[in-house]
Chain A
Amino acid sequence: MTVTGIGARELATPAAPAGPEPVRRRRLLPAVLRNPWGRPRFLVLTTWVYIAWALLPVGIAMLFSFNSGRSRSVWQGFSLRWWWTDPSFSVFHDPDYTHALVHSLELAALDMLIATPLGVLLALGLARWRGRGSGAANGLMLVPLVTPEIVMAVSLLVVFTQLAIVPFALIHLGTGAQVVGQVTFSLSYVVVIVRSRLASIGPEYEEAARDLGATPIAALRLVLLPLLLPAILASMLIVFALSIDDFVVTQYMSSNASTTTIPMFLYANARGGTTTPALNALATILVVTTLIGIGVAYLIYTALGRRASTGEVSALRDLSGLETA
């Protein structure tokens, strides 16, 4: 207890008897866990147990892609059978698997190419546009983030199957509808990431550019876009990851086996008794691809963003779009 602490208590209770107040401390925790100046052991334990619990099952599942037997729950030895060496059932040889892989990448690329520019423009517009309609547009942008995916999926399904007017009549279930659905929810993430960067940049660089003779468009091109670049690149990669991981909307918007993605394939075969560890290999490919994308996004964001001051935590916050919630 500090001297100031005692002083404060005496001030608060002027009628207290003279002499130092005995230090009262409730003994709730056993001695092992109670060490106010050391590391909080109980928290350390919880954290590492949680992390082990969160990551070990995933690690084990990935490891089983190297199982030599057909089982996905009993280890029978190491092999590359389900990755490559089995000529008809390995993940890179079975056409069902390779097709899902290719289709997933296709969708992710399309989503990225459409959602990023659309989202960047929307973020710029929403951040600066004040006046009638801007409030509604802002609210609308948040809807996909706060609606359960199944609601979006069902509503898009109804539109694409029932509404025979342009533009809905031009889009059919399958790749077209899948791209539309994915863009619709990834758009919001781009907006959130770019806008939070825009907010941390602030208006003064743009004003300085205007002050020095730049037109509004020149200020945008020469100052704002270069400063936003890390956020734009990062949001591209995040859209990629969101797309490749998405299950619900992609499944609802699919038409037949030709539009199966990796997550859909996992869903359909996860419980199947005859499914081989090639499924684990496919899931491993999915995860590794996603994590590489996110890792690169993070590196770009912190490396380029360092010029305009951003910390690890704020990068994390920006990237996970947490400011919306």
Chain B
Amino acid sequence: MASGEVILRGLTKRFDDQLAVDGIDATINGGEFFSLLGPSGCGKTTTLRMIAGFERPTAGEIVLDGVDVASVPPHERNVHTVFQNYALFPHLNVFDNVAFGLRRRKLAKDEVRRRVQEALALVELHGLANRTPRQLSGGQQQRVALARALVLRPAVLLLDEPLGALDAKIRKQLRVELKALQEEVGITFIFVTHDQEEALSMSDRVAVMNAGRVEQVGSPPEVYEDPATVFVADFLGVSNLMEAEAVGSGRGECMVRVGEFVLRAGCGDTAACGAVKIVARPERLELLSHEDQRENRLPGMVERTVYVGASRQVIVRLPTGAAIQASVTNTGDAEMYRQGKPVSVYVPAGALRVLASGPAGERSDPAVPASEHAEPSGVRS
């Protein structure tokens, strides 16, 4: 009957003089894989710790399946956590670690044994029950931590950067497994991470957090394709953030002036007027030869090309002085992207997004290609 729905209302946490979480409102549906994504210090871990019960909210409600649990101590909440460094008890073996919570519930001996075996089977660790945590690899420890929390059949499972301590290859593999596991058990997962690729690839919905607030909640394509704020656009991948001036609008489109060039922008706040920010994802841009006469072009000069295997990141310096980054498929022909070559950057109207002007985030240097930025499906050829 526990559906695992979590509603946060005005959730606030203040440490001494510092506001860590600043009035969060969110509804996390039962059975959903929900991520809290944001840079370090944005309040995502504090939010998680309040849901777990380790921090008492300064204000606001945490409604779990219709009951406000804000002042229920952690051991009485039907919410369990996979800790960042797993916190497996070093003095207990795998079996006793997984049985720990069941024994607190005073379950019968064979019931404990049966459920521990079940949980270990679920994470494919049968046969390691007698090992101590130190004898396990990082990935195995992670699975024990999962089993230890899931064996209690929580309404909600909280995961605090559970993949952070693993190396890149295992991390990618566990990402797939974790999502599959969540679908199998059908429990609400609330997943905290600073890694956008993790959040985008696993979640049903993502909440992007910044400075103690939620900037946007949406499905991964929504937050990536339709960022609501400059921060979201900037935090999720390279966004080619530029200053522009909205000079007219109509038919759901907006004319923006960048330097002496006017472009049509097809999405975002197309009714805006005056100073705005415009963003376009690198993979949506096309590089044309400089003689091409299509509309919505910006002329420029190739400043640098970064070879990343499947694609090239080409950084083009515009006459306005701004740099714009385009990601082009590696076709084997590099001549066009040689340094110093004049090119035209074609910006499809449907890829150019207008954001009402606000303070830009800190990661706004498009000249630095992100090595691991997310690549949404369907853009690659």
A and B touch in the complex (CB under 8 A): yes
Chain A residues at the B interface, C-beta cutoff of 8 Å: 204-205, 207-216, 218-219, 222-223, 226-227, 307-309
Bound form: Cα–Cα A215–B134 in Å: 26
Query: What residue of chain A has the Cβ atom nearest to residue B160's Cβ?
Result: A204
Q: Contact: A207 with B91, CB < 8 Å?
A: no
Bound form: Cα–Cα A270–B293 in Å: 106
Q: Which of A209, A212, A222, A307 has the most CB of B within 10 A?
A: A212
Kindly identify which residue among B52, B85, B91, B105 contacts A307, using a CB–CB cutoff of 8 Å: B91
Say yes or no for B74: interface residue by CB 8 A criterion.
Answer: yes
Smallest beta-carbon distance A279→chain B, Å: 46
Q: Contact: B134 with A211, CB < 8 Å?
A: no
Q: Contact: B90 with A214, CB < 8 Å?
A: no
Q: Contact: A207 with B100, CB < 8 Å?
A: no
Kindly identify which residue among B52, B75, B83, B89 contacts A213, using a CB–CB cutoff of 8 Å: B75
Smallest beta-carbon distance A221→chain B, Å: 11
Q: Contact: A226 with B152, CB < 8 Å?
A: no
Kindly identify which residue among B54, B76, B90, B104 contacts A207, using a CB–CB cutoff of 8 Å: B54
Say yes or no for B305: interface residue by CB 8 A criterion.
Answer: no
Bound form: Cα–Cα A226–B75 in Å: 20
Bound form: Cα–Cα A137–B163 in Å: 40
In the assembled complex, which residues on chain A have CB atoms less than 8 Å from the CB atom of B54? 207, 210-211
Bound form: Cα–Cα A4–B291 in Å: 46
In the assembled complex, which residues on chain B have CB atoms less than 8 Å from the CB atom of A219? 75
In the assembled complex, which residues on chain A have CB atoms less than 8 Å from the CB atom of B134? 307
Smallest beta-carbon distance B167→chain A, Å: 19
In the assembled complex, which residues on chain B have CB atoms less than 8 Å from the CB atom of A307? 90-91, 132, 134
Kindly identify which residue among A209, A216, A226, A227 contacts B100, using a CB–CB cutoff of 8 Å: A209
Say yes or no for B73: interface residue by CB 8 A criterion.
Answer: yes
Q: Contact: A207 with B152, CB < 8 Å?
A: no
Bound form: Cα–Cα A223–B85 in Å: 16
**Can you list 9 A-B contacts (CB < 8 A)?**
A207-B83, A208-B83, A211-B74, A211-B149, A212-B100, A214-B75, A222-B100, A227-B90, A307-B134
Bound form: Cα–Cα A205–B54 in Å: 12
Say yes or no for B80: interface residue by CB 8 A criterion.
Answer: yes
In the assembled complex, which residues on chain B have CB atoms less than 8 Å from the CB atom of A215? 75
Interface string of B60-77 (1 = CB under 8 A from A): 000000000000011110
Query: What residue of chain B has the Cβ atom nearest to residue A219's Cβ?
Result: B75
Q: Contact: B75 with A210, CB < 8 Å?
A: yes
Smallest beta-carbon distance A9→chain B, Å: 30
Q: Contact: A212 with B80, CB < 8 Å?
A: yes
Chain B residues at the A interface, C-beta cutoff of 8 Å: 52-54, 73-76, 79-81, 83, 85, 87-91, 100-101, 104-105, 132, 134, 148-149, 152
Bound form: Cα–Cα A303–B94 in Å: 20
CB-CB nearest 7 A-B residue pairs: A212-B101, A208-B87, A213-B104, A204-B87, A210-B74, A226-B91, A307-B90
Q: Contacts A213-B152, A215-B75 given; indicate if A204 touches B85 (C-beta within 8 A).
A: yes
In the assembled complex, which residues on chain B have CB atoms less than 8 Å from the CB atom of A205? 87, 89-90
Query: What residue of chain A has the Cβ atom nearest to residue B76's Cβ?
Result: A213
Bound form: Cα–Cα A207–B84 in Å: 12
Bound form: Cα–Cα A227–B104 in Å: 19
Bound form: Cα–Cα A1–B1 in Å: 72
In the assembled complex, which residues on chain B have CB atoms less than 8 Å from the CB atom of A210? 53-54, 73-75
In the assembled complex, which residues on chain B have CB atoms less than 8 Å from the CB atom of A214? 75, 100-101, 104
Smallest beta-carbon distance A201→chain B, Å: 9
Q: Contact: B101 with A213, CB < 8 Å?
A: yes
Bound form: Cα–Cα A214–B75 in Å: 6
Bound form: Cα–Cα A207–B79 in Å: 13
Smallest beta-carbon distance A134→chain B, Å: 15
Further pairs besides A209-B100, A213-B76: 5, Cβ < 8 Å = A208-B83, A211-B54, A212-B104, A216-B75, A226-B91
In the assembled complex, which residues on chain A have CB atoms less than 8 Å from the CB atom of B104? 212-214, 218
Query: What residue of chain B has the Cβ atom nearest to residue A307's Cβ?
Result: B90
Bound form: Cα–Cα A219–B104 in Å: 10
Bound form: Cα–Cα A226–B132 in Å: 15
Bound form: Cα–Cα A213–B75 in Å: 4
Bound form: Cα–Cα A209–B105 in Å: 12
In the assembled complex, which residues on chain B have CB atoms less than 8 Å from the CB atom of A223? 89, 91
Bound form: Cα–Cα A195–B149 in Å: 29
Bound form: Cα–Cα A213–B78 in Å: 9
Query: What residue of chain A has the Cβ atom nearest to residue B148's Cβ?
Result: A212
Q: Contact: B83 with A212, CB < 8 Å?
A: no
In the assembled complex, which residues on chain A have CB atoms less than 8 Å from the CB atom of B100? 209, 212, 214, 222
Q: Contact: B90 with A211, CB < 8 Å?
A: no
Bound form: Cα–Cα A223–B75 in Å: 14
In the assembled complex, which residues on chain A have CB atoms less than 8 Å from the CB atom of B74? 207, 210-211
